[in-house]
Structure 1
Amino acid sequence: MCDILKREFSWNNFRLFHQNKTDFYTFQWRWHPHIFLIYRSMIAAYSIGSLSAVLVEGGGPHIMVYLTIWTYLTLTLHFLTAAILAFVCHCTRCGDDQTNSIVLTQVQSEPIKAVNGSFQTDDGRKMSKSNIDDSSTADQETGHNSDESAQSLPWYFQGCWLVSIVAHHFTLVVTLVYFTALFPFMGIQGIAINDINMHGISSVLVLIDVAVGARPVRLLHVIYPIVFGITYVTFSAIYWSRDTVNNVVYNILDWNNPGLAVGVVVGLAFVVIPLIQLLHFGLYRLRLRLYDHIYLTK
């Protein structure tokens, strides 16, 4: 565990670099790829339908001031782009080899281990000895180290990864804040179906996505949800400043009470968001360990 954390807290892990493109359009598990395409299609269609219902019922552009809408838009964008990426890459292989086992480089965050005469990374994906030798030779010839080799992840993969990080993170934040700090004080009986979709089912979908997908999680990527949160806080302050009476979006983010608002922002940025990142990372490591146990890769 100490070695894992040591590798995670490397400056390189702030960046959106990963050596294995397959992790972004396949299951973690050895299931048929067509099942993954069906899964991506269904979850994208569901999120688009739910978002459309909310926007139609919202009745105007004012609905865009809510963090819930920002987050659900981001989540829907993640599911849509993930589905498109999956279909494109399964049809074109995205430039990878035909075996669909494409760990060709060794990076600091995912060391290669010898297993029964072959080699694999921490995520359990196997590679041949010749691929390791070829990778090492290529690095020597180009003068690049293994971290620089990881920069081969295309920009559109990085974009999809960035959207997924923010969506996975803030979906859980919205659910937590809604059911602990907002809903209990609304004084309403029951809950609307759209609220269930955006504040409850959305988090279930995120946890399923984390459980079945192969995308990696980096602890230092916590910076991206924090930036997203700061962006929304800045927007809410500007929106409030135009009408300090009627433009209070949330009672817990009421800039007429700056002490409360700043306290909430600091608590989310330095406590809640990092804890959720630890949760995502823990689920990621658990997923890899289960993979090793189920498929006997170690």
Structure 2
Amino acid sequence: MSRIKAILHPVKKEFSTKKCGFDHTPADDFVKSQWQNCSKSNAYLIYRWFIAIFFIGVVLESMINQEDQGSFWLYFIYMTNWGIILCMLTNLLGAILVTTWHYHPEYADKLLNMESLTSPFRVYWSMHIISLVASIIITIIYWTVLYNAEQSSLSVTNVLTHAFNSICMFVDLLIVAHPLRLLHLFLPVLFGIVYAIFSYIYQMLGGINRKGKPYIYHVIDWSRPKNAFLTVVVILTLCIIVYMILFTIYKLRTLLYKRLNSSIYKLPTNVKCTGKSVKNTNIGESGTGIQHSPSGISMVLSNFSGCENPAYTVSSENIKHKI
């Protein structure tokens, strides 16, 4: 029973009032990796720009190598391209925020203290959630339903936009420090609803796809409204299932981090250890499990468990006893 409670308690916490919105402290989790032990990491900065440049390249490559060069605007009607553009914008914003955090602390402080819904961190957080789920849904639907080996070529563009998009975003989920919240599953669902409405309006206005068909995807053909509506419901349900799986993976990520970092607590700089380790009692941990460095001044007025505090003297002991 205790094990069941241990599993259900974190899920129950996700339905608390404070988990409903987009407040998260510390805000610098959005510019850090889950696995870095310092406030700034050059490796993470390089990674953020690498992934941003990668997605910029994918978008440009997919635009240049379209199947039908005569109708460039048709590029923007497909969910695949909505998803890859969103991945590009998300990772570009993430790279800019991390760069600002590293090299412009005067602006970083202002960003960290912004509480409006237009805060760059909240915008980035929302975009990351949507692009993460959308990329995986696009990959699943394309390779299981839409891909036809006889009609579609296994080109570089095809692989980059329908496979590497989800792989990169999933790997990013394992690296970043910011959290997933269970109630934020409405974001990818809303994104899916917006695209469904767009596809309906586009078809009703006489729009065609690259092959000249009067729909964007044959599985969402609004001339057969019942089938199209059922397809949309199935895809939205799949969004919810995928999000639940990703949320579980996020929890496992933070659990692994805590397990790896809970055995030994790093003492403040003015405390000299004699060789014994000190158990971490969740000091300075945020909701993501990442440890934030405490002050360099030790507040412990004594020696304790194998460690000697240089600030502690016999006079200090006398004062303590008098108190």
TM-score by length of 2: 0.71
Give 1 or 2 for the bigger CA radius of gyration: 2
Work out whether residues 26 and 214 of structure 1, in 8 Å CA contact, stay in contact via their aligned partners in 2.
yes
Secondary structure of 2:174's partner?
Answer: helix
Q: Percent identity?
A: 27
Instruction: Give unmatched runs, 5+ long, in structure 2.
Output: 1-6, 264-279, 281-323
User: Whose helix proportion is higher, 1 or 2?
Assistant: 1
Rounded Cα–Cα distance in structure 2 between residues aligned with 1:224 and 1:44 = 22
Match of 2:193 in 1: 230
What residue is the counterpart of 1:170 in the other structure? 134
Q: Deviations over 1:1-55 (max 9, x none)?
A: 2221111013443321111112111110026700001101111111101101111
For residues 29 and 48 of structure 1, the distance between their equivalents in structure 2, rounded to whole angstroms, comes to 26
Could you tell me which residue of structure 1 aligns to residue 47 of structure 2? 39
Determine the C-alpha separation between the residues in 2 that align with 1:283 and 1:195: 27
C-alpha offsets along residues 137-180 of structure 1, whole Å, 9 cap, x if unaligned?
Answer: xxxxxxxxxxxx99588711111111111101100010010011
Q: Which amino acid aligns with 2:136?
A: L
Change (3 A) 1:76 1:180: same
SS at match of 1:15: coil
**Paired AA for residue 227 in structure 2:** L
- Match of 2:138, as an amino acid? V
The residue that corresponds to 1:181 in the other structure is 145
Structure 1's 203 and 31: CA in aligned 2 closer, same or farther, altered over 3 A?
farther
Paired position in structure 2 for 1:110 = none
Pairing partner for 1:250 from 198, 217, 233? 217
Q: Pairwise mapping of residues 89-168 of structure 1 onto structure 2 (< 5 A)?
A: 89-93=101-105, 94-95=108-109, 151=115, 155-168=119-132
1:292 to 235, 258, 268: 258
Counterpart for residue 304 of structure 2: none
Counterpart check, 1:23 vs 2:29: yes
How far apart are the structure 2 equivalents of 1:260 and 1:79?
Answer: 35
- State whether residues 65 and 157 of structure 2, in contact with CA within 8 Å, keep that contact through their aligned partners in structure 1: no
Secondary structure, in 3 states, of the residue corresponding to 1:261? helix
Quick one: distance in 1 between partners of 2:82 and 2:90?
12
Distance 1:92 1:189, change over 3 A: closer
Larger RCO (CA within 8 A; separation ≥ 6): 1
CA contact (8 A) 1:240 1:255 kept: yes
> Does the CA-based 8 Å contact 2:117-2:123 persist in structure 1?
no
Amino acid at match of 1:253: I
Please say if 1:267 is aligned against 2:234. Answer: yes
TM-score norm. by structure 1 comes to: 0.77
- Pairing 1:40-119 to 2, within 5 Å after superposition: 40-58=48-66, 59=69, 60-93=72-105, 94-95=108-109
Q: Distance in 2 between matches of 1:186 and 1:252?
A: 17
CA distance in 1, matches of 2:18, 2:37: 32
